[in-house]
Amino acid sequence: MMYFGVIGYPIKHSVSPAMHNAAMKKARIDGIYLAFEVKPEMLRDAVFGAKALGFTGLNVTIPFKEEVAKLVKLEGHAAKLKAVNTIDLRKMVGYNTDVYGVKASFSDVDVDGKVALVIGAGGAGKAATLALIELGATVVLTNRTESRGVEAVEMLRRYGNCIFHPYDRVGELKGKIDILVNATPIGMKGFTQKLPVPPEILQPDMVVFDTVYNPPETPLIREAKKAGCKVIYGVEMLIHQGAKAFEIWTDVKPDVSVMREAAINALKNSFIPKA
């Protein structure tokens, strides 16, 4: 039997166990994936403890992606971002499959040469920015806390075209962007603020990707559809980052449609209407 898990704090509503257990069942892999809430001061013990217990791999979520990067060797995108969301405990190597998840979410969009506005300079914003610059976009990154946004741009512009724009002047970008990515929690269930940008910014034919996946149909996605934009749901990134982690651990490409169905069911009562 293979053992897997996701560690975070808090971790209550993770849909990763549903997604991975469904994929293992479909692939006939004898394994189990569980969610573990780990107190920050126990992080190191949790990672090395899982290794000692014979776990094959762990996913890592808020707030541990950067701390865990100090405990393992870093591969590819994890090395570029100094952030890890997937550990192969057999080799103690850390990966960042969030970047892959964003790229896969844009698989039917021609990103090359486009201008993308990414809102948020946390883990999701940095992963989205790296994915889009690797796909050939120029990324304008904005962030509520300017210093954090500028710091992210300084790191990311080594890998492609990336500039900072102040969050309170985002309205000035109307008509100048092709792609918009929300990488803040705005729009999440229970969040009072509904939209991360003034709605006027949404223009027909723009591509709008909301990394928020609970609810799947966020206020931004609804506004974007009304404005005639193409929309990409956050659940796509979630599924594809999970699929890549699954492949790293098992050498098997999982059935992505099975993972999608499991994730959507786990997000309860939620459904994804056709774009």
User: Which residues does the annotation mark as catalytic?
Assistant: 65
- Ranges of beta strands (E only) in 166-269 are 179-182, 207-210, 230-232
Tell me the closest approach of the beta carbon of residue 1 to ligand NAP, in angstroms: 27
Question: Which of 25, 51, 82, 148 is the binder for ligand NAP (CB under 6 A)?
Answer: 148
Does 188 sit near ligand NAP (CB under 6 A)? yes
For ligand NAP, the binding residues in 201-230 under the rule CB under 6 A are 211-213
Query: Under 8 Å CB-to-CB from 68, ≥6 apart: which residues?
Result: 43, 47, 60, 84, 87, 94
* Residue nearer to ligand NAP on the CB measure, 101 or 254: 101
List the x/- string, 31-70, binding to ligand NAP by CB under 6 A.
-------------------------------x--------
Contacts of 55 (CB under 8 A, 6+ apart): 3, 4, 5, 89
Q: Site residues for ligand NAP, window 98-117 (CB under 6 A)?
A: 98, 101
The span from the CA of 115 to the CA of 136, in Å, is 9
Residues in CB range of 79: below 8 A, 6 or more apart: none
Output 1 or 269, the one with its CB closest to ligand NAP: 269
Q: From the CB of residue 158, how many other CB atoms can be counted at a distance below 10 Å?
A: 9
Quote the least distance from Cβ 187 to ligand NAP, whole Å.
8
- Of 218, 217, 221, 237, nearest to 229 by C-alpha is 221
Q: Which stretch binds ligand NAP (CB under 6 A): 52-60, 89-97, 142-150, 158-166?
A: 142-150
Task: Report, in Å, the least distance between residue 52 CB and ligand NAP.
Answer: 28
Q: Which of 38, 197, 237, 248 lies at the binding interface for ligand NAP (CB under 6 A)? A: 237
Which single residue brings its beta carbon nearest to ligand NAP?
122
Using rule CB under 6 A, residue 193 touches ligand NAP? yes
| Minimum distance from residue 206 beta carbon to ligand NAP (Å) | 19
Place of tokens 């954090």: 148
Nearest to 185 by CA among 195, 172, 200, 173: 195
Q: Enumerate residues 6+ apart whose C-beta is below 8 A from 218.
A: 182, 187, 188, 210, 212, 234
Q: Which two tokens stand for residue 84?
A: 């890890």
Residues forming contacts to ligand NAP in the complex (CB under 6 A) are 62, 98, 101, 120-125, 143-145, 148, 183-186, 188, 193, 211-213, 234, 237-238, 241
